Amino acid sequence: MGGLVAAALPMRSTASVGFDPASRVFRLDGEGVTYAFGIDSAGQVQSLHWGGPLALDDQLAPAPKPSDYSGFDRANSVTPLEFVAFGGGLVTEPSLKVAFPSGVRDLVLKYLDHTLTSEGITLRMKDISTEVYVELRYSMDKATGLLARSAVVDNRTKAWLRVDQMAAATLNLPFGEDYEVNYLTGRWAAEWTLQKRPLEAGATVLESRLGMTGSQNNPWLAIGRAGLTDEDNGPVWFGALAWSGAWRITVEKDIVGHPRITAGYNPFDFAYRLKPGERLETPVFYAGFSHDGMGGASRRMHRFQRSVILPGAPEPKLRPVLYNSWEATEFAVNEVGQIALAEKAATLGVERFVMDDGWFGKRNNDHAGLGDWTVNPEKFPNGLEALISRVRGLGMEFGLWVEPEMVNPDSQLYRAHPDWVINFKGRPRTEGRNQLVLNLARSDVRDYVLKSLDLLLRDNDIAFLKWDHNRSWSEPGWPERAPEDQQKLYVDYTKNLYWILAELRRRHPKLEIESCAGGGGRVDLGIMHLTDQVWPTDNTDPFDRLKMQDGFSHAYMPGVMMAWVTASPNWVNKRATSLEYRFLSAMQGCLGIGDNLNHWGQEDFATAKRLVAEYKSIRQTVQRGDLYRLISPQGGSERSATLTVSETKRQAVLFTFLHSSSTFDATPLIQLQGLDPQARYAVRSLVGAVEADTPKIASGSYWMHHGVRIPLRGDFQAAALVLDVV
Ligand code: GLA
């Protein structure tokens, strides 16, 4: 099962794969991309091309003979290698670093053999003097040109081998002085901040040491060229690591100026001891290239996610409109109160009613109950049955919040099994939100978690779990293991998490899951393969969201990004906004409602009902279409606008927002993108109105080259238009 998540997923249709024995050059060719590497005369595997497509009959020259730059910088540190071990005097970031029982920590890998199939390439390397083997795996998705790379180290020596550092891949970019690295940073309630910095000599390190993906950095990056690359134009090399444990992506520029990316397990506090015959496999690093700027890069990424990564790919199910109880009732959930909310939600056209935290154990606040996944009998005297059957009777699905990897010290579970948490013997157990992390790497803990959720799902008609994870790790020990094996926690925990998710889905094929970690702390391509949607942030302020949603969309598709309409003023900034503004902000992703409906008036219900119905008519486009970020909300911009064009180009949806107008500003013309220039589109406004002289119907060319004017005046204004081919 571990292999299921670590190995590259089967691509929908694989790219052309080739090897030329004369030049010893390998090639993978997908839509708009060629990736090539070759074996040099020293038996090293060198990168030869990652970028725009070459003609299939173009011959790449063999990999050049490697040579030292100086006595300080030997060939292996200044040659663009596909995977390089610490050894032979390497001074750059290693893809692999090991230790032998003898104390030797030198490993020099040389090409051994390869297998080539229509699915991809597996290339084997071997150490020059020991029985240590490494497999490099390559495959490419033809339609998007996304390359999947991973590696396996195989200990065939007669003794143990300790892996101290291991990457899925090293990827080399063409030589250049003008690169800029784009990446995402954040913190709780402020995730998805887009950052950019020049790639200068030295290294840029993006990482999580937290045992989880984290929101401080997200395992995604995109590299453009200053002056050449913008939102719509220019080359972009991008990639993302499919791993939900501690990870690191290092972008280096070596002493001669070669830029390279190394991505994999975070070597910080890492060690994985392999017995003779054991192997360690890395997660997959997915890498892509676009010639159409940052917008083109994210559209490729989004298409790849929906056609390869998501459950149900290439046709993942559309996200239902949901209601969530958290901001309405927090821990004070009970049968009567939830049924009252469900009845109101149903009148709006909500399709899935989700009860959040508070329903289990002694969970009256965040100090108790985690770990005890049984229904609280005071709040729910009839179990969940009465609530669920009412929700089902109202025509909605039922969903439930869980946080299965955690335990409160004040719980039956912890009192029975204080040894089940991650800890160092004899050291304090640092709490986060009054809770400790269960050691999922232990098979008894893994089995307990699976069993409690399985029972819950068997006994109740539950269509959906919101799977939360509200703290990062501390004291990452595994006292039941020998000291030299305790750090296996970093790999085995995440593999077991994936295993549980996969097993639950296997046993309950209709189950859908949301990945949440106190907001957007666990969003990555690894978890996305096993979950249907993600919660990007606890921050539900509709204005703050615009910038976060923009950041998010650089790496991940809006079709998994949940967004709720909640109370005004919002708890985050005490900012008041109209219901329509809140709806339009949330409609940029997957719509949910999280306000206390008991506080709504008739007019609110009417507005919400109308906009939920409108959302359903555009959600295929919003969730599956191609996103164009027309006006960025980054950098203090007063305005922002996004356009999503359906896969068939028959529908497009425009959202535009204004922070505040001043000094009688002119209304800008917004030029659309991605439409069929010949088709004729009728324009219809969902909220707001277009300038009076706007034609009702015009060609794609007109909307793209002339544009549309939407007058917005005031503070926190929003409008949305739909264009349909007539
Ligand atoms: C986390 C989640 C919230 C909510 C609470 C419940 O903070 O991100 O959406 O579920 O937990 O305790």
Nearest to 373 by CA among 341, 408, 325, 397: 408
Ligand 1 centroid vs 423 CA: distance in angstroms? 24
Q: How confident is the model at residue 7 (pLDDT cuts 50, 70, 90)?
A: low
Residue 4: pLDDT over 60? no
Q: Give the pLDDT confidence of 586-621 residue by residue, as tens digits.
A: 999 999 999 999 999 999 999 999 999 999 999 999
Ligand 1 centroid vs 518 CA: distance in angstroms? 5
Q: How confident is the model at residue 1 (pLDDT cuts 50, 70, 90)?
A: very low
- Whose Cα sits closest to atom 2 in ligand 1? 518
Residue 104: pLDDT over 70? yes
The pLDDT assigned to 6 comes to 47
Q: Give the pLDDT confidence of 715-724 residue by residue, as tens digits.
A: 999 999 999 9
Secondary-structure class of domain 14-309 per CATH: mainly beta
Residue 423: pLDDT over 50? yes
Upstream peptide bond of 569 is cis (omega within 30 degrees of 0): yes
Q: Give the pLDDT confidence of 546-570 residue by residue, as tens digits.
A: 999 999 999 999 999 999 999 999 9
Cα gap 140→286, rounded to integer Å: 9
Ligand 1 centroid vs 81 CA: distance in angstroms? 44
Nearest to 15 by CA among 292, 302, 289, 311: 289
Ligand 1 centroid vs 219 CA: distance in angstroms? 22
Residue 146: pLDDT over 60? yes
Nearest to 498 by CA among 533, 522, 526: 526
Percent of the chain with pLDDT over 70: 99
The pLDDT assigned to 100 comes to 98
Q: How confident is the model at residue 11 (pLDDT cuts 50, 70, 90)?
A: confident
Contact residues of ligand 1, CB 6 A cut-off? 326, 356-357, 401, 468, 470, 516, 518-519, 535, 538
- Whose Cα sits closest to atom 8 in ligand 1? 518
Average the pLDDT over 616-632 and give the result.
98
> Quick count: other Cβ atoms within 10 Å of Cβ 674?
18
Q: Which two tokens stand for residue 143?
A: 């339609």
Reported as type and span, the H/E element at residue 27 is strand 25-30
- Whose Cα sits closest to atom 11 in ligand 1? 518
Mutate to test the pocket of ligand 1, among 356, 433, 464, 545 (most ligand atoms within 8 A of CB): 356
Pairing state of beta strands 109-117 and 96-99?
A: unpaired
Question: In 67-182, which residue ranges form alpha helices assigned H by DSSP?
Answer: 75-78
Ligand 1 centroid vs 499 CA: distance in angstroms? 23
Mutate to test the pocket of ligand 1, among 370, 522, 538, 561 (most ligand atoms within 8 A of CB): 538
Q: Which residue has the tokens 């559309």?
A: 318
Average the pLDDT over 231-246 and give the result.
98
Average the pLDDT over 357-363 and give the result.
98
Average the pLDDT over 461-482 and give the result.
98
Pairing state of beta strands 247-253 and 132-140?
A: unpaired
- Whose Cα sits closest to atom 6 in ligand 1? 357
The pLDDT assigned to 76 comes to 94
Ligand 1 centroid vs 130 CA: distance in angstroms? 50
Residue 186: pLDDT over 90? yes
- Whose Cα sits closest to atom 4 in ligand 1? 326
Cα gap 306→328, rounded to integer Å: 32
Domain ranges of the chain: 14-309, 629-725
468 marked ligand binding residue: yes
Ligand 1 centroid vs 466 CA: distance in angstroms? 9
469 marked ligand binding residue: yes
Q: Give the pLDDT confidence of 684-699 residue by residue, as tens digits.
A: 999 999 999 999 999 9
Ligand 1 centroid vs 334 CA: distance in angstroms? 17
Task: Please say whether the beta carbons of 125 and 112 come within 8 A.
Answer: yes
The pLDDT assigned to 8 comes to 67
Percent of the chain with pLDDT over 90: 96
Q: Give the pLDDT confidence of 301-357 residue by residue, as tens digits.
A: 999 999 999 999 999 999 999 999 999 999 999 999 999 999 999 999 999 999 999
Q: How confident is the model at residue 13 (pLDDT cuts 50, 70, 90)?
A: confident
Q: Give the pLDDT confidence of 50-96 residue by residue, as tens digits.
A: 999 999 999 999 999 999 999 999 999 999 999 999 999 999 999 99
- Whose Cα sits closest to atom 12 in ligand 1? 357
Cα gap 51→289, rounded to integer Å: 6
Taking the CA of residue 535 as reference, the ligand 1 atom at the shortest distance is 8
Taking the CA of residue 538 as reference, the ligand 1 atom at the shortest distance is 8
- Whose Cα sits closest to atom 9 in ligand 1? 538
Mutate to test the pocket of ligand 1, among 212, 322, 325, 326 (most ligand atoms within 8 A of CB): 326
Task: Please say whether the beta carbons of 624 and 680 come within 8 A.
Answer: no
Q: How confident is the model at residue 3 (pLDDT cuts 50, 70, 90)?
A: very low
Q: How confident is the model at residue 14 (pLDDT cuts 50, 70, 90)?
A: confident
Q: How confident is the model at residue 255 (pLDDT cuts 50, 70, 90)?
A: confident
Which residues belong to the active site? 468, 538
470 marked ligand binding residue: yes
DSSP-derived secondary structure for 637-705: -SEEEEEEE-TTSSEEEEEEEEEE--TTPPPPEEPP-S--SSSEEEEEEEES---TT--SEEEHHIIII
Task: Please say whether the beta carbons of 533 and 560 come within 8 A.
Answer: yes
Residue 287: pLDDT over 70? yes
Same fold, 14-309 and 629-725: no
Q: Give the pLDDT confidence of 489-518 residue by residue, as tens digits.
A: 999 999 999 999 999 999 999 999 999 999
Taking the CA of residue 517 as reference, the ligand 1 atom at the shortest distance is 8
- Whose Cα sits closest to atom 7 in ligand 1? 518
The mean pLDDT value of the chain amounts to 97
Ligand 1 centroid vs 500 CA: distance in angstroms? 21
Ligand 1 centroid vs 586 CA: distance in angstroms? 18
Cα gap 171→223, rounded to integer Å: 12
Q: How confident is the model at residue 665 (pLDDT cuts 50, 70, 90)?
A: confident
Ligand 1 centroid vs 468 CA: distance in angstroms? 7
Question: In 229-316, which residue ranges form alpha helices assigned H by DSSP?
Answer: 293-304
> Quick count: other Cβ atoms within 10 Å of Cβ 691?
11
DSSP-derived secondary structure for 80-110: -BSS-BS-TT--S--SEEEE-TTS-----EE
467 marked ligand binding residue: yes
The pLDDT assigned to 9 comes to 74
Pairing state of beta strands 397-402 and 626-631?
A: unpaired
Q: Is 49 in a helix, a strand, or coil?
A: strand
> Quick count: other Cβ atoms within 10 Å of Cβ 207?
17
188 marked ligand binding residue: yes
Nearest to 381 by CA among 330, 326, 325, 339: 339
Say which CATH superfamily domain 629-725 falls into.
Answer: Golgi alpha-mannosidase II (2.60.40.1180)
pTM: 0.97
CA distances from residue 336 to 150, 341, 600 in whole angstroms, order as listed = 51, 9, 18
The pLDDT assigned to 126 comes to 98
- Whose Cα sits closest to atom 1 in ligand 1? 518
Q: Which residue has the tokens 């008991």?
A: 598
